[in-house]
Amino acid sequence: MRITTWNVNSIKQRLPHLLGFLDEAKPDVVCLQELKCQDEAFPRAEIEGAGYAVETLGQKAYNGVALLVRAPLAMTEIRRGLPGDESDEQSRYIEALISGPDTKPVRVASIYLPNGNPVDSPKYPYKLAFMERLRIHARALMEDEKAVVLAGDYNVIPDPADAADPEAWRSDALFLLGTRAAFRAILAEGYTDGLRACDPRDGLYTFWDYQAGCWQRNAGIRIDHLLLSPHAADRLVSAAVQKHLRGLDKPSDHVPVTVELTAG
């Protein structure tokens, strides 16, 4: 089972790139973030035409997450929204149990964590509160002893090795000590960073800003992650960044990251 996470930074603008990726890579599950559209505006017909079932949690102009699943796999037990704050109206979390005739179930979430900048505004406490809610939910998800993959744009640079220029991010919400500690707290619940488990090299980035020639200089950061519960980590075969998609015409500033798990 190949599970991909990708912040498309507007599904309408990036639909041709997404359809090309689905045809090229044929992932079994795709976790999308930053759709920037409401559910009814999501290009469901085009993606279903490519052989994928679709579940979305959209929001006008901002945020938005989706799960795409390729037949014969199917989604059940859909959860929209991260538990722990009924007043949170931002569309940042969708989850489903994914299974098939020859595949043990995997619970997969598509997550778009808050950016948190500027740090002296309410946005940073919201980010940390969201991460704490995610930690609590991540622990609860392991209780039924099924494989869990928490995939998405975490807006977290976990370590200096995950940035081409760590000093440039020192005071940014993505790299503050509090942010990194909150990320480690999620890992401490028993989760494994899927990409790092397979490839510990420096220079693995998933985001390059549109400004200042970041792509051309490879001045990237790694902020898109797939965290695996112990049952999922036991099935981990490989992980990779699809970096070449950043070189397309009018690309997202993020690229897909994919883990492959055994069927069971």
- What per-residue confidence (pLDDT) applies to 183? 98
Total structural domains within the chain: 1
d(CA 134, CA 156): 14
The model's pTM: 0.98
Tokens of 148: 């869990």
3-state secondary structure of 205: coil
How much is the mean pLDDT over the chain? 97
Other C-beta atoms within 10 Å of 252: how many?
24
- What per-residue confidence (pLDDT) applies to 264? 86
- What per-residue confidence (pLDDT) applies to 251? 98
pLDDT at position 236 over 90: yes
CB of 230 closer than 8 Å to CB of 141:
no
Instruction: Place 104 in a pLDDT band, splitting at 50, 70 and 90.
Output: very high
CB of 259 closer than 8 Å to CB of 239:
yes
pLDDT at position 187 over 90: yes
Average pLDDT value for residue range 223-235: 98
- What per-residue confidence (pLDDT) applies to 30? 99
pLDDT tens-digit map of 126-150:
999 999 999 999 999 999 889 999 9
pLDDT at position 219 over 90: yes
pLDDT at position 60 over 90: yes
DSSP 218: T
**Domain containing residue 138: CATH number:** 3.60.10.10
Domain residue limits at 39: 2-261
pLDDT tens-digit map of 169-179:
999 999 999 99
pLDDT tens-digit map of 61-92:
999 999 999 999 999 999 999 999 999 999 99
- What per-residue confidence (pLDDT) applies to 32? 99
**78: Cβ contacts below 8 Å, ≥ 6 apart:** 55, 94, 95, 96
